[in-house]
Amino acid sequence: SNLGLEGQLFNGKLSFEFDVFANKRTNILWFRNASVPQSTGLTLPAENIGEVSNKGWEFNIGYRSQVKEFKYSVSINGGYAKNKVEFWDEAPGAPEWQRTTGRPMNTYLVYQYDGVFKDQAEIDANPIDYKAIVNQLRPGDMKYKDYNGDGKITPDDQVRNDNTTLPLFQGGANISAQYKNFDLSILFQGAAGAKQYVSAGESGNIGNYLLDIYENRWTIDNPSSEHPRIANRSDQYYSGGNTYWLRSTDYIRLKNFEVGYTIPSTLGSKIGLNNFRVYVNGLNMLTWDKLKVYDPETDNSTGQYYPQSKIINVGLTATF
């Protein structure tokens, strides 16, 4: 179902659109790999068992006007969308906090980061048993929350969160202006509500450490209580699978801008030109984000992707 509203005010200077939607999809192909144990040795076919609901809204608001020789327009758009698994194959007896049903698709199942063991004294005073995931704790190791309160850290303490690599909200803003022969256009875009898993799995023997991880690491001289000691690839229990590595990808980016100047037609006609314009434009010029270590627009957890370029162009267009 979909409900929309659109209109104009002030003699068309202000325009707006607003839509709300909700739907439910059924008979989605999925496998019963959770409820049927792998020990059966069965290779199960996909079945039409999945049910997922979607809801959200989107809007677009624009305003344009003119003050003497100055013309301008501004528009803002955005959209929010979230899905929820209504039925999925679940493992029998799985704790409620680990179930997929009732949460968005493709969420993370991870331990809850709770700081770092700063020194041996903290380890000795620690009442929680970590033996199910590590033989011996060392200063600089990561703390996990005992989510089920049984006094020990086990796979049952992993929690499925509500974030995925897909943002809940995406939006943008367009600004354009013209004064006499000068023109300007600016595009901002942004997103919020997603989490990216920052993997350090290649760090160590075969790859470099991310600068952020290396500079903030726990060391004897810098016994951090926030950042763990570095690991060689994925050789430590905290190398992955916890909320420390889940970083917000909220961002605002100056995606595009352009400034131009068109010579007066009276001058252009003297040299045989109908139109002559010079311009400077840029792509991906500025980004404000929380992630820092990766491009916030990527969904690649290892950083193995071709980065977006920051580009500046200078050009001209001529019509004879």
Mind spelling out the 3-state secondary structure of the chain?
CEEEEEEEECCCCEEEEEEEEEEEEEEEEECCCCCCCHHHCCCCCCEEEEEEEEEEEEEEEEEEEEECCEEEEEEEEEEEEEEEEEECCCCCCCCHHHCCCCCCCCCCEEECEEEECCCHHHHHHCCCECCCCCCCCCCCCEEECCCCCCCECCHHHCEECCCCCCCCEEEEEEEEEEECCEEEEEEEEEEECCEEECCCCCCCCCCCCCHHHHHCCCCCCCCCCCCCCCCCCCCCCCCCCEHHHEEECCEEEEEEEEEEEECCHHHHHHCCCCEEEEEEEEEEEEEEECCCCCCCCCCCCCCCCCCCCCEEEEEEEEEC
Give the C-alpha separation, 131 to 306, whole Å. 40
Predicted confidence at residue 268, as pLDDT, reads: 61
141 burial level (CB within 10 Å; 0-12, 13-18, 19+): buried
Predicted confidence at residue 152, as pLDDT, reads: 96
Predicted confidence at residue 318, as pLDDT, reads: 79
Cβ-Cβ contacts under 8 Å for 248 (sequence gap 6 or more) = 194, 195, 196, 290, 291
Encoded amino acid at 201, one letter: G
Predicted confidence at residue 105, as pLDDT, reads: 92
Predicted confidence at residue 275, as pLDDT, reads: 80
Give the C-alpha separation, 187 to 237, whole Å. 43
Predicted confidence at residue 305, as pLDDT, reads: 77
Tens of pLDDT, residue by residue, the chain (320 residues): 899 999 999 999 999 999 999 999 999 999 888 888 778 888 889 999 999 999 999 999 999 999 999 999 999 999 999 999 999 888 888 899 999 999 999 999 999 999 999 999 999 999 999 999 999 999 999 999 999 999 999 999 999 999 899 999 999 999 999 999 999 999 999 999 999 988 776 677 777 888 888 888 999 998 988 999 988 877 889 988 899 999 999 999 999 999 999 988 777 666 767 788 899 999 999 999 988 888 899 888 777 778 889 999 999 887 87
The residue behind tokens 């059924």 is: 26
CA-based nearest residue to 76, from 4, 168, 170, 167: 170
7 burial level (CB within 10 Å; 0-12, 13-18, 19+): exposed
b (16+ CB within 10 A) / e for 166-205: bbbbbbbbbebebeeeebebbbbbbbbbbbbbbbbebbbe
CA-based nearest residue to 170, from 257, 77, 249: 77
Structure tokens at 303: 């950083």
Predicted confidence at residue 269, as pLDDT, reads: 66
Predicted confidence at residue 201, as pLDDT, reads: 64
Predicted confidence at residue 234, as pLDDT, reads: 77
* φ/ψ (deg, to 5) at 134: -155, 140
